[in-house]
Amino acid sequence: MKLDAMGDLQRSHTCGELRKGDVGKSVVLMGWVHRRRNLGGLLFIDLRDRYGLTQIVFRPDADEAIFERGGHLGAEFVVGVTGEVVERPAGTTNPELPTGEIDVHVSDLKVLNASLTPPFVLEEPIKASDELRLEYRYLDLRRPHMQRLIEARHKAAAATRTYLNGAGFLEIETPMLAKKTPEGARDFIVPSRMHPGKVYALPQSPQLYKQILMVAGCDRYYQIARCLRDEDLRADRQPEHTQIDTEMSFVTEDEIFEVAEGLMVEIWRAVRGDEIETPFPRLTYGEAMERYGSDKPDTRFGTEIVDLTDLLGGTDFNVFRSVIESGGAVKCLNAAGCGGWSRSEIDKKEELAKKWGAKGLAWTKVDGGALAGGIGKFFSDDERAAVIERAAAADGDLLLFVAHDRKKASRILGKLRLVLRDELDLVQPGVFNFVWITEFPLFAWNEESEGWEAEHHMFSMPRAQDLDLLESDPGKVLGQLYDLVVNGFEIASGSIRIHRRDIQERVMAVVGMSKEDAERKFGFLLKALDYGAPPHGGLAHGGLAPGLDRIVMLLMDEDSIRDTIAFPKTYRGLSLMDGSPSEAEPAVLKELGIELVKPPDDDVPGQSSG
């Protein structure tokens, strides 16, 4: 088809703009051919742009030649049409469409570009495979749903800037070519041409730079920062994600929480128009583990874990008694209303519990105020009454028990709790339950390396009252370390930082870092601490998990972060649209003084993660 130049044709309205009040106007619209229909000798086209759809009508009686050309337009052709806004005849209006009360009757048509037949239909919901959508991302992004996601992300970022600017924060960029950063994931490495044999690392987060900005007296810093981690991608991770990164000087945890809560209010208001309530509730890590079996509890529903250990120490049920005698715990979940479950349904839950490390999943049902079936018969009358009371159980409920060490029992029941949530539909859509998790342990024991490692990162300040335990009992040291969790997702994490070299060196020693190692890796930070570093602390919406990406996912009721990112990678770290990663030319490698060696296919990391 012959293409037209745009010339001086000027768009007068977008495809989402015209209403009944515009009837009679002469307009110029530009956009993509979305859907075409021939009806009663007329040609109807939905013209689409970022703002919406407008139905344009070609009539043979108006202009035979233009009608003819209109008939040759294919899907995704780009056109500019001149025409008149006309009220739709009664019975043909479309209340679903903001422009659904009008048509534009075309008097002139410019075909600005043609399109090959798209490899998939741009429909909602999309039926094309993920691979195809990612390869032709520019087509996929044209879909209204994807445009809404891009817009939501923009609004969240804009609200972030407005709010933090208003709170006295400075937006400061930190280097992309950086020294290795401390989150513990694998770095992406960039060889230096000017310094053969040396490399930069792409930042896993701006952590050290933002701390140094505090030493530099910047007082309040933020950045919407890209974080790059070369990890095998587990579900719903991306090699690059975006944090809303903040840091503040002379602050308490309370002040950091207050700023972060205000930020969430602004973002939720800007994107969803919802008012969320502050202050957010707080749970210590210990409480969260006890009640929910998770450090990122979904607090939208109850079904909390109930500890029965103190009630059952003397029980006749040997399995429980021996676990309790050896220092373990017996905990249960009340699956309310599940008393009608069949044996095979319960068995399926037991299989899951075993997969997660339980030795078994004991059960009993509440019937007529007594415990019926399963292990109910082993309890004495007093135990039965106490268990029913503690679990707030009523007729028709099913109690599920795990006996194990304290932490493990909670973790297993915590996972089971989420299975019950999904199977029993225990949460309503559109509800957001924020909760701060505080007082994380500073260190976690790594079974493999048989050593302590930082629970979050090693720049977090121990609680003042735990400083003396650093060397004697690191496992007991709690940190001024917190996460923000919503609906079971960690969306932010941070800490009050160590601002003194002596404490920093002690913490580094606990995680097995020699002085020389510390100096080589983080000497620049330690040196900065020596020059009057102020007390400081901060938060990254993101932390280990995706941040802005995850927030947009939650705001827009998406299941994955992938579509909150304009150009995401696959689980294997591939960009299907541009074909990266790709081979480098030998001359380029030579200049960098490096050689790439391709391992046999099955040695490629992440290859099996789909």
Binding site for ligand ASP (CB under 6 A): 183, 205, 207, 457, 493-495, 538-540, 543-544
Query: What minimum distance in Å lies between the beta carbon of 288 and ligand ASP?
Result: 18
DSSP 336-379: TT-TT--HHHHHHHHHHHHHTT-S--EEEEEETTEEESGGGGGS
**Structure tokens belonging to residue 35:** 């859907």
CB neighbour list of residue 512: distance below 8 Å, 6 or more residues apart: 451, 452
Closer to ligand ASP by Cβ: residue 544 or 552: 544
List the beta bridge partners of residue 483. 437, 493
Query: What minimum distance in Å lies between the beta carbon of 441 and ligand ASP?
Result: 15
Query: What minimum distance in Å lies between the beta carbon of 262 and ligand ASP?
Result: 17
Which amino acid, residue 89?
A: P
Query: What minimum distance in Å lies between the beta carbon of 493 and ligand ASP?
Result: 5
Query: What minimum distance in Å lies between the beta carbon of 500 and ligand ASP?
Result: 18
Closer to ligand ASP by Cβ: residue 280 or 459: 459
Closer to ligand ASP by Cβ: residue 135 or 247: 247
CB neighbour list of residue 385: distance below 8 Å, 6 or more residues apart: none
Query: What minimum distance in Å lies between the beta carbon of 506 and ligand ASP?
Result: 19
Map residue 25 onto helix, strand or coil. coil
Closer to ligand ASP by Cβ: residue 173 or 395: 173
**Cα–Cα distance, 77 to 33 (Å, whole number):** 5
Burial label for 173, CB within 10 Å (0-12, 13-18, 19+), is exposed
Closer to ligand ASP by Cβ: residue 83 or 538: 538
Closer to ligand ASP by Cβ: residue 408 or 536: 536
Closer to ligand ASP by Cβ: residue 207 or 364: 207
Query: What minimum distance in Å lies between the beta carbon of 210 and ligand ASP?
Result: 7
Query: What minimum distance in Å lies between the beta carbon of 150 and ligand ASP?
Result: 25
Closer to ligand ASP by Cβ: residue 403 or 561: 561
Closer to ligand ASP by Cβ: residue 85 or 477: 477
Pairing of the two strands 170-171 and 220-228 = parallel
Closer to ligand ASP by Cβ: residue 339 or 494: 494
Query: What minimum distance in Å lies between the beta carbon of 418 and ligand ASP?
Result: 24
**Structure tokens belonging to residue 106:** 């075309």
Map residue 84 onto helix, strand or coil. strand
**Cα–Cα distance, 214 to 250 (Å, whole number):** 9
CB-based contacts of 557-560 (< 8 A; 24+ apart in sequence): 557/429, 557/430, 558/149, 560/236
Measured CA distances, 601 to 101, 420, 572, 573 (Å): 58, 41, 13, 15
Closer to ligand ASP by Cβ: residue 244 or 555: 244
The 8-class DSSP code of residue 174 comes to: -
Query: What minimum distance in Å lies between the beta carbon of 496 and ligand ASP?
Result: 10
Nearest to 439 by CA among 393, 380, 394, 480: 480
Query: What minimum distance in Å lies between the beta carbon of 539 and ligand ASP?
Result: 6
Closer to ligand ASP by Cβ: residue 60 or 184: 184
Query: What minimum distance in Å lies between the beta carbon of 456 and ligand ASP?
Result: 6
**Cα–Cα distance, 180 to 497 (Å, whole number):** 19
Query: What minimum distance in Å lies between the beta carbon of 520 and ligand ASP?
Result: 21
**Cα–Cα distance, 204 to 428 (Å, whole number):** 35
Order of all β-strands in the sheet with 362-367: 306-307, 329-335, 398-404, 362-367, 370-372
**Structure tokens belonging to residue 316:** 């006749």
Residue positions counted in the chain: 610
Closer to ligand ASP by Cβ: residue 488 or 494: 494
Closer to ligand ASP by Cβ: residue 363 or 459: 459
Measured CA distances, 297 to 179, 266, 300 (Å): 35, 23, 9
Which amino acid, residue 310?
A: D
Q: Residue 323: how many CB atoms within 10 A of its CB?
A: 20
Question: Percentages helix, strand, coil for the chain, rounded to the nearest 5?
Answer: 30, 25, 45
DSSP 376-445: GGGS-HHHHHHHHHHTT--TT-EEEEEEESHHHHHHHHHHHHHHHHHHTT-S-TT---EEEEE--BSEEE
Query: What minimum distance in Å lies between the beta carbon of 512 and ligand ASP?
Result: 20
Nearest residue to ligand ASP by CB is 205
**Cα–Cα distance, 452 to 37 (Å, whole number):** 67
Measured CA distances, 52 to 97, 107, 198 (Å): 8, 21, 51
Query: What minimum distance in Å lies between the beta carbon of 205 and ligand ASP?
Result: 3
Closer to ligand ASP by Cβ: residue 376 or 543: 543
